[in-house]
Chain A
């Protein structure tokens, strides 16, 4: 009798334990979600011209990887920027068709005669998602957070580092990204709806780089700013327990976040864009973003009709296309993408800590001869890579700028068509000779080198394999090294002990000056020989000068002239040997209306105007 009772009690206890475990997974929220007040339409609302739709549909999509924070000052991940970009907004934005800088939170701006002062006029009557007014104070506050100095606790003076630079209180990407030649731009509030920036010198990309900063809400974050906890705000803990504390000006607010599972956005009831009938947008009621770990599972989810919008990897296009009828979606070829793939030789003349040269001197001699690099470039079968690796879903890349950036792309640069004869002619000019189909240099040493690339990128591994075969046709032995990404970064930016490397770059800001760290000889990402104290070669010196001009001129045609020359020099010298640029493919579910995809803006650039019949 007693035993039976004991057993029942044990079972009951176990059941209760399991139930508490389950409910432990959804810990109750500390306070109730406040209801967002809906304020009258702003004076300076923006009317968008798309046919009127129906409100209330939910949109589902995937996010690549989990987020680590919702704080734009801390975020380093792509997933994080996508999420933050849905919530926060900036003064200016880019036109999805021609890529020009167009008004956003600022309705207009003036640039002074001397090109130093930028005066932005903000839209009046806009409210943050929690109903608080948006004013120039928020803009000034945002910039204050970038440049606030760390103060000595005893003396109260600004602290300096060993090189006499100020020590900043919050080390964010914007802090250092917005410095112009080491100096801070000044920001001042003229009135509640006007804000003026003064740059220390003429700096052409400021309109886009400075105006593109996401604006932070002063009324929410100023206490944290003062007590030093700004970087700890808007963490995933806030997103889980009190998502309403993350307020923004963009079309959505955070509704809930479950680590590793999903992020739900709700419509911002105080958004400042309206449709033709003067009704407040967006049409979408909720966006449900499922967190996935890689591109393939994201593509699978779309191909099974589970998500509404998706960019499809080139190697997945074929099988995703098969589901078009069954799951009623459309797959579009958007032309060339911003991604580039290239390889380069280590031109660093230095020695390692033991005094040994980083690259063997005789190899260094080959690599630093531009004819050698040109010969290699002629020897690469780029069409073969496109056919064999990308199944025709890529384009030949001739130079630094992807043809997608039509405006900045220089068509007239030197191109290296696939021709082993031309390669061999260049080698002959250098005094190299062939013996038993192997290439030997002028000192009778066999030509061979190693090429490293990151092992986790399957397409790049295949490209490297094609490259090895192409080089074998030239009589050159290439040893391939497939390494961990961190190892590659360490080798290319710290130890410099490698011979050649193949990597790629993604998007990046659309202004050519964004590439200054790659192109200028002192740059940290000047792959082939970074952080030079003084330009090592005359052509690098010329590029440095041209890039300075690109930064200094505000007339876009003059800038283009200078940047064309940069591209021409790069093509002639081949420090980076460009390979191919994959195409962009996007898919969207056919239940959505007002879809007008553009190569620059993709399919969701007009997300506020997209609508579907609610299910």
Chain B
């Protein structure tokens, strides 16, 4: 097991090298750099621009910049943000909790709804309920997240039932602890919906298909012929076997935990990591962009790793070790 995990983590090294190098090349190919907006202002002198360029190393070719950055990263230093004059790790630390909270709540929301719905759709296969849920699922799958978010903003603006954006109200600072929790929850509802509805549909469809497959298994007939109650058959025997493939899906969902909310955060003005990433890409604040890219990439590898481990743990037939 340990050697499996180590092997997996080793693949992360070339992956990170490749992806950061790609990011560096793309950023150097893009027109302009961090200082371009400064150049567009009238009261900035040539000397200032030259001085900052040499301070940031922007006057050097990309491979030298990359080499220097890599050296710093190997020493555990992700660099300073040019715009914020802060270590990148601190900057990400400021925002990561809000994004984590949002992704986690939407994960729980979608799974709590999708699994029961999928099971019901399988049990009552071809019923009216199954048809309606299938229709809704296709509709939800075909609406992109950002569009759903836009519709929700419009809904909030028209009804006034939900805040238009942000993670807290204006008077948040002066609320009691309970009030703060409620306020955060209230602000979480729309982003959670926008982020969760798409995955409800896909998880539900997977759950339904698995469940139907498993119902046909021989052990179901055995259980029924033993006289086991139908509800026990379904929820104790079938459900446990049908849920296996979803465990690996859960691992994949984890990998998107930090980077998946980007669009929704921007549209709903939710102050998380996605907004920071988006703004630093627009500003070409190099080191913040690179750190976000690395974070996303590592989460993907860790998510997959976790999915494999969970699967091995839940299904004794799967062995991760290579046979000697």
A508 to B44, CA, bound (A): 12
Given contacts A66-B279, A176-B47, contact A236 B40 (CB under 8 A): no
CB distance from A344 to the nearest CB of B (A): 15
Question: Interface-forming stretch among B63-71, B89-97, B301-309?
Answer: B89-97
CB < 8 Å neighbour of B32 from A179, A293, A297, A486: A486
Q: Tell me if A74 counts as interface (CB < 8 A to partner B).
A: yes
A171 to B38, CA, bound (A): 13
Chain A contact residues (Cβ within 8 angstroms of B): what range?
35 or more
Given contacts A25-B167, A240-B94, A290-B170, contact A176 B48 (CB under 8 A): yes
A487 to B30, CA, bound (A): 9
Asked if A236 and B100 sit within 8 Å, CB to CB, the answer is no
Asked if B97 and A25 sit within 8 Å, CB to CB, the answer is yes
Asked if A487 and B42 sit within 8 Å, CB to CB, the answer is no
CB < 8 Å neighbour of A487 from B31, B184, B269: B31
C-beta contact mask, A225-257 vs B, less than 8 Å → 1, else 0? 000000110011100100000000000000010
Asked if B97 and A21 sit within 8 Å, CB to CB, the answer is yes
Given contacts A260-B271, A517-B43, contact A76 B104 (CB under 8 A): no
Q: Tell me if A489 counts as interface (CB < 8 A to partner B).
A: yes
Q: Tell me if A518 counts as interface (CB < 8 A to partner B).
A: yes
A293 to B274, CA, bound (A): 14
Q: Which residue of A lies closest to B42 (CB)?
A: A525
CB distance from A212 to the nearest CB of B (A): 12
C-beta contact mask, A5-22 vs B, less than 8 Å → 1, else 0? 000000000100011011
C-beta contact mask, B263-307 vs A, less than 8 Å → 1, else 0? 000100111100110010000100000000000000000000000
* Chain B residues closer than 8 Å to A300, beta-carbon distance: 157
Asked if B101 and A68 sit within 8 Å, CB to CB, the answer is no
CB distance from A209 to the nearest CB of B (A): 9
* Chain B residues closer than 8 Å to A19, beta-carbon distance: 181
Asked if A171 and B83 sit within 8 Å, CB to CB, the answer is no
Count residues on chain B whose CB falls below 8 Å from chain A CBs. 54
A288 to B307, CA, bound (A): 45
Given contacts A168-B51, A171-B55, A258-B271, contact A237 B94 (CB under 8 A): yes
Asked if A264 and B173 sit within 8 Å, CB to CB, the answer is yes
A327 to B42, CA, bound (A): 39
A587 to B271, CA, bound (A): 28
Asked if B170 and A18 sit within 8 Å, CB to CB, the answer is no
Given contacts A24-B97, A489-B32, contact A259 B271 (CB under 8 A): yes
Q: Tell me if A422 counts as interface (CB < 8 A to partner B).
A: no
A24 to B184, CA, bound (A): 12
Q: Which residue of B lies closest to A65 (CB)?
A: B279
Q: Which residue of A lies closest to B55 (CB)?
A: A171
Q: Tell me if A493 counts as interface (CB < 8 A to partner B).
A: yes
CB distance from A440 to the nearest CB of B (A): 35
Given contacts A21-B97, A232-B85, contact A486 B36 (CB under 8 A): yes
> Could you tell me which residues of chain A, from 447 to 496, have a CB within 8 Å of some CB in chain B?
484-487, 489-490, 493
Asked if A68 and B46 sit within 8 Å, CB to CB, the answer is no
Q: Tell me if A535 counts as interface (CB < 8 A to partner B).
A: no
* Chain A residues closer than 8 Å to B101, beta-carbon distance: 18, 21-22, 24-25
Asked if A177 and B45 sit within 8 Å, CB to CB, the answer is yes
Q: Tell me if A505 counts as interface (CB < 8 A to partner B).
A: yes
* Chain B residues closer than 8 Å to A76, beta-carbon distance: 37-38, 83
CB distance from A455 to the nearest CB of B (A): 13
> Could you tell me which residues of chain B, from 1 to 60, have a CB within 8 Å of some CB in chain A?
30-32, 36-40, 42-48, 51-52, 55
* Chain B residues closer than 8 Å to A24, beta-carbon distance: 97, 100-101
* Chain A residues closer than 8 Å to B90, beta-carbon distance: 237
Q: Tell me if B98 counts as interface (CB < 8 A to partner A).
A: yes
Q: Tell me if B255 counts as interface (CB < 8 A to partner A).
A: no
Q: Which residue of A lies closest to B166 (CB)?
A: A261
A423 to B271, CA, bound (A): 54
* Chain A residues closer than 8 Å to B271, beta-carbon distance: 258-261
Q: Which residue of A lies closest to B30 (CB)?
A: A486
* Chain A residues closer than 8 Å to B186, beta-carbon distance: none
Asked if B85 and A69 sit within 8 Å, CB to CB, the answer is yes
Task: Report the 10 A-B pairs with minimum CB-CB distance, sorted nearest first.
Answer: A260-B271, A486-B32, A24-B97, A176-B48, A176-B45, A171-B51, A487-B31, A68-B83, A25-B97, A486-B36
10 new A-B contacts at CB < 8 Å, known A173-B43, A176-B44, A176-B47:
A24-B101, A60-B170, A69-B84, A179-B47, A260-B270, A261-B168, A300-B157, A484-B31, A489-B37, A517-B45
8 contacts between A and B (CB under 8 A): A18-B101, A232-B85, A237-B90, A262-B170, A290-B170, A293-B266, A493-B40, A524-B45
